[in-house]
Structure 1
Amino acid sequence: MDEQTALVLALQLVALFSIAGALLLYLLCKIKPESGVESEESSPGAGKPVLVTSCDNAIGLQIALHLADRGYRVFAGLKDGAASGDSNDSASARVIRGWLKHRESLASISLQGTIVALPLDVNREDLLHESVDIIRAHLPAGKDGLWAVINTSGVMYRGRLEQQDVTHWDAILRTNVVGMLRVARTFQTLLRSSQGRIITLGNSEGEEAGLVAYTASRYAIQGASNALREELATSGVKVITLNPKGLSMDFMLTTPKLISKPDAEVSVDIFGHLEFQPIVLPPSALHVVNVAITCGNPKRNYTLLKKQLWRKPLHIFTA
């Protein structure tokens, strides 16, 4: 083989390997998780402190238990007081107490997650400021910050606008919009020190008859979150909205109920937890929550439910 032929052959081999490499890189870039979000969150809970503003509703209770199971130190807001007290006999309080009791029975296993219930109502400034003191008292020595605040507080009333009482509008806007602003203002200091994040439920990108005032509140939350994101950007605090499109807000904001057996005993699942309903978020939506709460460079908005499930009547999911 002469020198010129060898040179041509070498160039052909280089071109062939370059094409193969480019094709491989293209295929790797095309492979994405089915859910449309990152394949896995950046890190597990590892005892990071997270506040869920309302566990009095189904979505808040489910998220709080999910994050505690994943190793987070979850501060669970309850309007009627701390779950450790005897005065609160709500289903949410009983589920949290049951979770803590079961966790105590596993003391021999090294587990980081826990739940600290505290009195919190987004419409009451005194309870909001009191919750800051409670959170600080339960943080490890030398720590003074929250990793995330997840605002699950909210109310809704169905009914045609002409038939609704103005007091319903006031309650919706006061809790959903003004309450969200109060939460953001109250916990900014704890979030700045850890460069944490505020997570809210945004609008569902759709309108429904009978929910005019509620829909207005959701669009207001979305707009406020967008503006707040710009305002807090220099402090390192991230603001994320979760799009609940395809999920029933009636079920998400409803008061949980314990599941009882025919003999009136409360059902317990295989993990020793008291069972409750409704379970509103499927595993894929909980994965989106995981990504939103842990990703180092999160998106501004995440959709909780996969697009192919939007039109299906899915309101209660199994674990």
Structure 2
Amino acid sequence: MSGEFDGLVAVVTGGASGIGAAITAELGARGGSVAVLDRDVSGASSDVFAVVADVTDDESVRAAIESVVARFGRLDIVINNAGVGAQGGVEDNADAEWHRVFDVNVVGMVRVARAALPHLRESPAAAIVNTCSVAANVGLPQRALYSATKGAVLGLTRAMAADHLREGIRVNCVNPGTADTPWVARLLSSAADPAAERAALEARQPHGRLVSAAEVADAVAYLASPRSRSTTGTSLTVDGGMESLRLRPAED
């Protein structure tokens, strides 16, 4: 659907790598003008407007959003993708780490949306897409802190959708399963047996492999697209059936 984002300007937080980079590339391929907001923009494509920003710093976020609007004259789409991972049960992380991860994964989205809303209200095709996770709906071992933040993102998405529907701003989220990202790669490299750990992660998803960043980007593009004007307040799961399917063991 090349061209469906023609004339529209999108911001992708955490857009310099992983899922964010795939989203940036997909929106650009479909005609959008894309700006990347990231703490480290060295990996960002040369085709995009890259701005150094920290989602835990309100002043940094506001300045970055204003620089995007100054560059392009408008803002239509916000992809709240910046986030960090966390491992362990409820007793494995100190209060400071709980606050840090919530600050990035949840309040970071609030800061970006808050800064962008005045501009989105002027757009004829305004959309916010938050990167959530299958962990918002599925209990995963050793992911208490991470899952708590993603449950908050899911609730935030629905509340924002209700608040801003009559302003013409759609708000949705995408729930990836375990994706082939730099963070997962780091987890695998630190495992005692990386190959066995990867096989376990792949087997956890019924289609038998990790989700690709490109597959998540396609879902985000659907939710952000002006062709999806009746889609708001929803979560689109991209997890190979992990959340909803219960397959019988494969026969030999």
TM-score (norm 1): 0.61
CA contact (8 A) 1:51 1:76 kept: yes
Q: 1:164 to 1:255 in 2, by over 3 A?
A: same
Aligned-pair RMSD on alpha carbons? 2.8
CA apart distance, 1:208:
1.2
Q: What is the rounded CA distance, in whole Å, between the counterparts of 2:143 and 2:243 in structure 1?
A: 22
- 1:94-133 per-residue CA deviation (whole Å, 9 max, x = no partner) reads xx13xx3xxxxxxxxxxxxxx1101121111121111122
Whether 2:124 is the aligned partner of 1:201: answer: no
CA contact (8 A) 2:15 2:24 kept: yes
Of the three residues 77, 91, 99, the one matched with 1:162 is: 91
- 1:47-97 per-residue CA deviation (whole Å, 9 max, x = no partner) reads 4100001124411111112222222100101214xx5xxxxxx4x24xx13
Q: What is the rounded CA distance, in whole Å, between the counterparts of 1:119 and 1:254 in structure 2?
A: 24
Q: 1:70 to 1:226 in 2, by over 3 A?
A: same
Q: Which runs of 5+ in 2 are unaligned?
A: 187-209, 246-252
Secondary structure in 2 aligned to 1:162?
A: coil
> What residue is the counterpart of 1:118 in the other structure?
51
**Which residue type is aligned with residue 290 of structure 1?**
A
Whether 2:13 is the aligned partner of 1:62: answer: no
CA contact (8 A) 2:19 2:213 kept: yes
Secondary structure in 2 aligned to 1:193?
A: coil
CA apart distance, 1:306:
4.5
CA contact (8 A) 2:175 2:236 kept: yes
- 1:263-309 per-residue CA deviation (whole Å, 9 max, x = no partner) reads xxxxxxxxxxxxxxx993244x4332222111222242212244389
CA contact (8 A) 2:211 2:240 kept: no
Of the three residues 210, 222, 226, the one matched with 1:291 is: 222
CA contact (8 A) 2:84 2:105 kept: yes
CA contact (8 A) 2:89 2:143 kept: yes
Whether 2:1 is the aligned partner of 1:45: answer: no
**Which residue type is aligned with residue 150 of structure 2?**
R
Q: 1:252 to 1:207 in 2, by over 3 A?
A: farther
**Which residue type is aligned with residue 150 of structure 1?**
I
> What residue is the counterpart of 1:179 in the other structure?
108
Q: What is the rounded CA distance, in whole Å, between the counterparts of 2:63 and 2:181 in structure 1?
A: 29
Whether 2:81 is the aligned partner of 1:152: answer: yes
Q: Which runs of 5+ in 1 are unaligned?
A: 1-39, 84-89, 101-114, 257-277, 312-319
Secondary structure in 1 aligned to 2:181?
A: helix
Bigger radius of gyration: 1
Q: 1:218 to 1:77 in 2, by over 3 A?
A: same
Q: Matched residue pairs, number?
A: 216
Whether 2:148 is the aligned partner of 1:216: answer: yes
**Which residue type is aligned with residue 129 of structure 2?**
I
Whether 2:233 is the aligned partner of 1:302: answer: no
CA apart distance, 1:251:
2.6
Whether 2:66 is the aligned partner of 1:136: answer: no
Q: What is the rounded CA distance, in whole Å, between the counterparts of 1:308 and 1:125 in structure 2?
A: 36
Q: What is the rounded CA distance, in whole Å, between the counterparts of 1:44 and 1:175 in structure 2?
A: 31
Q: What is the rounded CA distance, in whole Å, between the counterparts of 1:177 and 1:49 in structure 2?
A: 23
CA apart distance, 1:239:
0.5
TM-score (norm 2): 0.76
CA contact (8 A) 2:8 2:32 kept: yes
Secondary structure in 2 aligned to 1:242?
A: strand
Whether 2:119 is the aligned partner of 1:190: answer: yes
